Chain A
Amino acid sequence: MQLLQALRVLGIEPLTALACVCFALGLWLLLPSTTARGKAFGLIFTTISLGLFATNLHLLSDWVSDAVFYVMASVTLVSAVGAVTMRSPVYCAIWFALTLLGTAGLFFFQGAQFLGVATVVVYAGAILVTMLFVLMLCNPEGHSLYDRVSWEAGISAGTGALLVFLLTWTTATTVFVDNTAFTDKTPAKDSKEPAPIVLTATAEQQNKNILAPRHVEKLGGELFSKYLIGVETAGTLLLVALVGAVAIIAHGKHAEAQAAAVRTSDGMTSGLNEEGRRNA
């Protein structure tokens, strides 16, 4: 009971703390490990923690938006856990595609139509397909050793849970969902409390600006006026990345051929095999 009270004083929801603990446990059990210990328990713990995090969510204006939001959020998070914990990298990529679709749905839900479409096209359409291509070129058959073990799963999951705990705690103590925050009273100058973040835009303003029916038109206008230099820089960056990728591959091929030539001539004379040279 004293622990609960101490948590309350700090502004920590006990359910959130419990959710973080379950999150760490679940991820630790789910991550690939040497022994097939408790995958089912990991699944249960992760589900419990996501459910407990869902108690932190707030209700939106009507039940339809609630339903859509919950479906999108759960698809995103469940498939994110799947993408990180699957042993086969191909399954990881497919779960990640589902995460991307979920995020695109969340973007649409916020009224960011262009970003939703761009996420599907650029991420799911281009990046993920390239990734699968490289997997096809690189991946040996079956589950390789390094897919079946992970570094320090316990410590990493604990760190992750600590991070998510700090983030939710900060959000809960700085972003007020207090009704008094919406009145036009200004907080006293000399009070020690942090000033609540107050919404300034009215619904009418939003409908004219970010939620305007002609969303893409407005977005493009903004992008090519206020952020024009950024667009030019991004274009340059894309060009540089393209040249860089080609250079890396071309140079790698060249260096590899040279190394192979040296290896064969070396192998005759010194008898040092490749493994020995790498360990040296």
Chain B
Amino acid sequence: MLSHAEAEIHLLENYLLIGALLFTIGLVGFLTRRNMIVMFLAAEMMLQGVSVSLVGWGRFHDDWGGQMLVIFILTVAACEAAIALALVQMLFHRGGNLDIALWQNLREGNQPRFVDREIPADDDPKPTFPKLTPAGIDPKTKEEDTIYRTHV
């Protein structure tokens, strides 16, 4: 049986390790992925990693500060989500897709331009959807129903 102090310090160390790993996975995702939405998601994951460590320290020091900071992190994350998704939406309309490489004109002046050298083959199978066997006669549809739906 562990003493109280030992149990608390073990808990703290475990939480710090989990927080570090979560932050790092988010960091690697942010650096490597090219889809803007996935990059945003990885940034949120880094925030989660920090939150885990903060809550661990707050419990260890018996102080509310850690949890308060996490509450403010949540607020900032919500603001960030609103702004970032609005930006992503606008950039998608300007550029046509979610690739961050479209905006590489914003890079440093002395950096070379990035060009995709090898285009990977799309080897994923097309999804197949189940089909129902038709039964009975086709219902009559008005011509305008095929253009827009007059009722639901």
Which residues of chain A have a CB within 8 Å of any CB of chain B? 23, 27, 31-36, 50, 53, 56-61, 69, 73, 76-77, 80-81, 83-85, 87, 89, 92-93, 96, 99-100, 103, 106-107, 110-112, 114-115, 118-119, 122-123, 126-127, 130-131, 134-135, 137-140, 142-153, 156-157, 159-161, 163-164, 167-168, 171, 175-177, 179, 182, 197-203, 205-206, 209-211, 218-219, 222-223, 226-227, 230, 234, 237-238, 240-242, 244-246, 248-249, 252, 256
Contact = CB atoms under 8 A, between A and B. Distances in A.
Contact of A106 (B26, B35, B52): B52
Contacts of B68: 222-223, 227, 230
A199 B13 contact: no
**Helix, strand, loop or mixed for chain A's interface?**
helix
B83 A34 contact: no
Nearest to B68: A227
A175 B141 CA distance: 74
Nearest to B59: A110
B22 to A, nearest CB: 6
B38 A80 contact: no
A106 B71 contact: no
> What band does the interface of chain B fall in when counting residues whose beta carbon is under 8 Å from A?
35 or more
Interface in B77-96: 77-83, 85-90, 92-94
Contact of A145 (B7, B76, B120): B120
A222 B4 CA distance: 25
Nearest to A179: B6
6 pairs of A and B residues whose beta carbons are closest in the complex: A84-B29, A201-B62, A241-B79, A58-B10, A252-B90, A146-B99
Contact of B83 (A83, A244, A252): A244
B150 to A, nearest CB: 26
Given A115-B67, A252-B93, 6 more contacts: A73-B14, A84-B26, A115-B70, A168-B17, A171-B20, A211-B59
